[in-house]
């Protein structure tokens, strides 16, 4: 029971409460991951079979951290064949810790025959899904200038997140754009089915449909996972909410952890009401508040409380900390965005004399703000990394993975289209069109031979993968495909692409200890489900971090710069015209930004900013005035060459 001694009273109460529904309202930096992991460990020490425990969160980073903590506390390591795995590559007799989407993949693979798939189905990425939609629009003569394909994909994605199928959507169409989406969506689903593929949203939707349609399957999982933990419950959308409800058995041993003050994803379907209505769903629920912050200084916590207390749609709580008071919060007024960027860069230059670059983060409300900041960092020779450039999104990496996916799933037309001419084999668009239309016999003999040679490469890759480790298999693909020969003697850019491929070989080593075939399959799954934050996991020490506030959630830094604090930019103008329930999200977003900082906050705004080529005068964000004056230091940026603007 020594692990209990490191907990505060509220954390201890949550850890010791084992039976029945439990809602843990955990403020920023209040040790929610520690509380969940200790609760899981206590369940195991209390006699609960580890394999009957499920823990679900949103990001790979969070699930990996939770998994590592649990395994470390159980004093178990995963090396060689120490831990048994089932034929799906999952560790046996340990808690099942995953993201929602990984859980969906797990359920679908175990029940793929029920929906006409096998366990090697392809997970279609965003680019592939968009490509299919564009092709459908072209075939149906729908003008992409009038109806933007990305918007149509977004409507389909949002609908699936709201637990709406294409049939339900089509039956309730009441607008012209809705009719167009319904037609495209149906064709899109048909194409996915033809390719034996599911898109990212299907991983959740199809899981829920399986659990609803097949009671025996639902019962099997309820009996398997008798203790369920859901992290970041405030971020669940309708389909994730449904999945959770279906997995909870009659004993209602569900523990959800979240913070209504950090609900910032309503634009992608996150429903704050799922958390606010937890007591209605589970009337005998116990509620525990975790209000002690272990991350930030007292000044930062006081500022955060002052910001968030104005919101009404929340579970009331007040953060406190036993940390030091810390430094005041710097608020800087710059003449324009260039002056703001120069201020940020020069301040960071001073901080780097006694700190590491990765201790520092620059946050902004919109992606366009990063450009001018990047220029200033470059001018000052400050290393930086923009969060959002995924390793698995690089073209050459996607090409390698396409070869592997196609070797498992020959019906994946998207993968064929992507790599049949990489490296160049002289196979053109007309040839591909005839191939897809089953008219290969009409092609010239030389062209048919090229196609046959390509599919012989795919067959050889599949045979090799079945008997070799993932890292060896990827080396084989790089050479067998011809990409190594093509890039080895090319330009510096081509050399860099080859180096990225070799980095994939290095990354694959961690899958080498899995059974033959399982490791490479797990690599494909992880690559498909990778997120922006995974880039930070694999590329540490690469410099100052730049990211949107949305992307920063779940992260923390010693020093945090929040830029662009201007009315109509942060808070964003579009959110000021919605109902009050929605406008509060911008305030929650600022609260999240503030609570990323451990020791020091720098806030800045520009009185003049160029947006869409137009210069406009800005008022400081209303959020700045919500911070008590005794917590702040006000300063003017130097170096932009402009005059001070006085507000009347």
Active site residues per annotation: 32-33, 231-232, 262, 596
Tokens of 456: 């012989």
Which residues face 331 on adjacent strands? Answer: 603, 634
Tokens of 458: 């795919």
Q: How far is CA 213 from CA 114, 219, 222, in A?
A: 10, 12, 15
Of 303, 299, 302, 292, the C-alpha closest to 324 is 299
Q: How far is CA 106 from CA 89, 101, 112, 130, 221, in A?
A: 10, 9, 10, 25, 11
Rounded Cα gap, residues 313 and 287, in angstroms: 17
134 within 8 A of 144, measured Cβ to Cβ = yes
Rounded Cα gap, residues 364 and 565, in angstroms: 9
Rounded Cα gap, residues 315 and 25, in angstroms: 8
The count of other CB atoms within 10 Å of the CB of residue 426 is 9
Which residues face 617 on adjacent strands? Answer: 608
Task: State the sign of the Cα–Cα–Cα–Cα dihedral 114, 118, 123, 128.
Answer: negative
602 within 8 A of 560, measured Cβ to Cβ = yes
570 within 8 A of 564, measured Cβ to Cβ = yes
Residue given tokens 């305030």 in the structure block: 587
> In sequence order, what are the residues at sequence separation of 6 or more whose Cβ sits closer than 8 angstroms to the Cβ of residue 391?
397, 500, 503, 507, 530, 534, 535, 538, 539
Residues in the chain, total:
648
DSSP annotation of 640 reads: S
Rounded Cα gap, residues 426 and 453, in angstroms: 12
The long-range contacts involving 42-47, CB below 8 angstroms and separated by at least 24 positions, are: 42/3, 42/4, 42/15, 42/16, 42/18, 43/18, 43/227, 44/74, 44/95, 45/1, 46/18
Q: Are strands 122-124 and 197-199 parallel, antiparallel or unpaired?
A: parallel
């Amino acid at each position: 029971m020594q692990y209990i001694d490191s907990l505060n009273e509220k954390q201890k109460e949550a850890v010791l409460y084992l039976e029945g529904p439990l809602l843990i309202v955990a403020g920023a930096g209040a040790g929610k991951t520690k509380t969940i992991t200790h609760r899981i460990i206590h369940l195991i020490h209390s006699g609960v079979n580890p394999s009957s425990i499920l823990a679900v969160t949103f990001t790979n980073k969070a699930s990996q951290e939770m998994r590592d903590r649990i395994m470390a506390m159980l004093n178990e390591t995963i090396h060689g064949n120490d831990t048994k795995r089932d034929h799906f590559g999952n560790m046996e007799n340990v808690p099942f810790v995953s993201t929602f989407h990984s859980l969906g993949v797990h359920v679908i693979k175990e029940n793929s025959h029920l929906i006409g798939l096998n366990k090697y189905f392809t997970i279609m990425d965003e680019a592939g899904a968009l490509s299919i939609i564009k092709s459908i629009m072209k075939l149906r003569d729908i003008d992409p200038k009038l109806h933007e394909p990305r918007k149509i994909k977004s409507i389909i994605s949002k609908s699936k997140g709201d637990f709406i199928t294409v049939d339900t959507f089509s039956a309730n169409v009441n607008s012209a754009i809705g009719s167009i989406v319904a037609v495209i969506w149906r064709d899109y689903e048909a194409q996915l089915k033809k390719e034996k593929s599911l898109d990212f949203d299907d991983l959740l939707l199809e899981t829920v449909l399986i659990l609803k349609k097949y009671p025996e399957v639902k019962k099997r999982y309820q009996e398997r996972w008798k203790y369920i933990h859901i992290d970041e419950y405030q971020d669940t959308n309708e389909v994730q909410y449904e999945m959770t409800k279906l997995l909870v058995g009659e004993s209602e041993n569900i523990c959800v952890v979240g913070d209504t003050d950090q609900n910032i994803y309503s634009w992608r379907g996150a429903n704050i009401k799922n958390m606010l209505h937890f007591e209605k769903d589970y009337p005998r629920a116990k509620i525990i508040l975790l209000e002690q912050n272990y991350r930030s200084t007292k000044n930062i916590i006081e500022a955060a409380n002052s910001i968030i207390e104005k919101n009404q749609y929340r579970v009331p709580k007040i953060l406190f900390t036993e940390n030091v008071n810390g430094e005041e919060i710097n608020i800087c007024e710059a003449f324009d965005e260039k002056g703001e960027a120069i201020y940020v860069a020069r301040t960071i230059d001073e901080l780097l004399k006694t700190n590491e670059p990765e201790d520092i983060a620059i946050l902004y409300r919109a992606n366009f703000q990063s450009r001018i900041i990047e220029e200033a960092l470059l001018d000052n020779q400050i290393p930086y990394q923009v969060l959002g450039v995924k390793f698995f999104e690089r073209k050459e990496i996607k090409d390698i993975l396409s070869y592997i996916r196609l070797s498992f799933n020959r019906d994946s037309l998207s993968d064929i289209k992507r790599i049949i001419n990489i490296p160049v084999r002289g196979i053109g668009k007309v040839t591909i069109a005839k191939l897809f239309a089953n008219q290969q016999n009409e092609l010239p003999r030389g062209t048919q031979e090229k196609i046959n040679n390509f599919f012989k490469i795919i067959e050889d890759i599949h045979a090799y993968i079945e008997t070799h480790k993932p890292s060896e298999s990827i080396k084989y693909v790089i050479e067998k495909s011809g990409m190594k020969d093509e890039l080895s003697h090319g330009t510096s850019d081509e050399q860099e692409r080859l180096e990225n491929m070799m980095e994939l070989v290095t990354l694959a080593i961690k899958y080498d200890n899995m059974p033959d075939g399982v490791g490479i399959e797990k690599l494909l799954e992880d690559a498909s489900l990778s997120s922006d934050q995974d880039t930070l996991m694999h590329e540490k020490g690469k410099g100052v971090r730049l990211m949107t506030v949305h992307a920063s959630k779940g992260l923390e830094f010693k020093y945090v710069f929040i830029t662009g604090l201007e009315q109509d930019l942060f808070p964003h103008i579009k959110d000021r015209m919605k109902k009050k329930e929605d406008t509060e999200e911008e305030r929650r977003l600022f609260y999240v930004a503030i609570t990323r900082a451990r020791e020091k906050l720098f806030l800045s705004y520009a009185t003049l900013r160029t947006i869409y080529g137009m210069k406009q005068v800005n008022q400081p964000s209303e959020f700045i005035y919500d911070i008590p004056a005794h917590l702040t230091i006000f300063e003017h940026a130097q170096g932009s060459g402009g005059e001070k603007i006085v507000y009347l």
